[in-house]
Amino acid sequence: MSNPPVRRGLYVPSAYWAAPSRNFRSSTRLHLQHYLWQNTTKFLLEPRIRTSIEQRKQVKIADLGCGNGAWLADLDNELSQKYISAQLNGYDINELNFPPPAFLPGSITLTKLDVLSERLPMEAIGAFDVVHIRAFSSIIINNNTMNLLSTALALLKPGGWIQWEEWGTDLIIEPASPQLSTVSCEKIARVLKVGGDAQGLNVDFVRELDRHLIKAGFQQVFIREDMKRKQDYKGWTEDFLIIWEEVASFFPSRGETPQESVTKESWAQLFADAVKETEQGVALHRGSVFTAIGRKPFHTGQRS
């Protein structure tokens, strides 16, 4: 089958993630994603980082693209159980999903900030022991990670750690039994692949995150891959379905441009058919998640 054409110029990451439509549904998905991620990796801080900081009495940690603060809230609980006093700062382009401060631990502060294009607060420069990043692959264009890594370096103290977690690179459409149809899910995957390629959303960098960290100047770099559990496939499937449902906003209506091969109406039908396939036992997942860590040099020009 040929791939349907996809209109260019519709996806602007900063506009998409800052939009009011990234509302309670997006927050629900982020809670689900966090739960599934923790089921997969079994850690909040990668063990090498955890060992490095657990003897300290005080730490400052930044979460870039913090969403609703779910990772920070769990981290506060983990650190408090170890009697570590923490200052936890979350930054996100969209404050709509921030919980009210009254509902957060006192250690957590959430701030609206586009970490890829806005000037960093002076008080944040060189202030953090750990910078955490998760699921930025839909924001990285043409495998260019240097802007984000430069931001992380600027935020870290000398000797501070980066922890960058990403989805696996390949979308897997896996039927529970061979006779199940995957036609609609496969078609959606093709449409999104064509659109993503046109926008430069190539996720090849994920498997080479360690190389990107080294190039940016990090030391003690390490990358690990954790495989997803089959019992979590349904959750990962539902996470993908929420994303796919939101994609309808990128397509014109049939009345506006009847010549388009993909419209809001055709996408809605295709999505409904894909949902039926998943209800019959088709799973959507990326197989694994990757975690790359690295340390900012203690001194300028220091080599590992």
Whether 37 is covered by a domain: the verdict is yes
Q: What is the pLDDT along the chain (304 residues), one digit of tens a residue?
A: 334 434 434 555 555 544 555 578 889 999 999 999 999 999 999 999 999 998 888 999 999 999 999 999 999 999 999 999 999 999 999 999 999 999 999 999 999 999 988 789 999 999 999 999 999 998 899 999 999 999 999 999 999 999 999 999 999 999 999 999 999 999 999 999 988 888 888 888 999 999 999 999 999 999 999 999 999 999 999 999 999 988 888 888 888 777 778 888 999 999 999 999 999 999 999 999 999 999 999 976 554 4
d(CA 188, CA 275): 11
- The boundaries of the domain holding residue 42 are 13-295
Whether 1 is covered by a domain: the verdict is no
Whether 304 is covered by a domain: the verdict is no
Whether 268 is covered by a domain: the verdict is yes
The count of structural domains within the chain is 1
**Predicted pLDDT of residue 2:** 36
Whether 130 is covered by a domain: the verdict is yes
Q: pTM to 2 decimals?
A: 0.91
d(CA 167, CA 135): 6
DSSP state of 222: E
CA angle 21, 140, 65 (to 5 degrees): 50
**Predicted pLDDT of residue 304:** 43
**Predicted pLDDT of residue 17:** 45
List Cβ neighbours of 98 (8 Å cut-off, separation of 6 or more): 68, 69, 90, 92, 110, 112
Whether 5 is covered by a domain: the verdict is no
**Predicted pLDDT of residue 4:** 40
What totals of helices (H) and strands (E) does the chain contain, helices first? 9, 9
**Looking at this protein, which amino acid is placed at residue 289?**
V
Judge whether 62 and 155 are in contact, CB under 8 Å: yes
d(CA 15, CA 24): 17
Whether 303 is covered by a domain: the verdict is no
Whether 153 is covered by a domain: the verdict is yes
Measured CA to CA in angstroms, residue 84 lies from 47, 78, 106, 110, 266 at distances of: 16, 9, 14, 20, 53
Other beta carbons within 10 Å of 219: 15
User: Which residues, in sequence order, are bridge partners of residue 162?
Assistant: 131, 294
The CATH number of the domain where 114 resides is what?
3.40.50.150
**Predicted pLDDT of residue 12:** 58
d(CA 166, CA 132): 11
Please provide the distance, in angstroms rounded to a whole number, between the alpha carbons at the two ends of the chain: 50
**Predicted pLDDT of residue 134:** 98
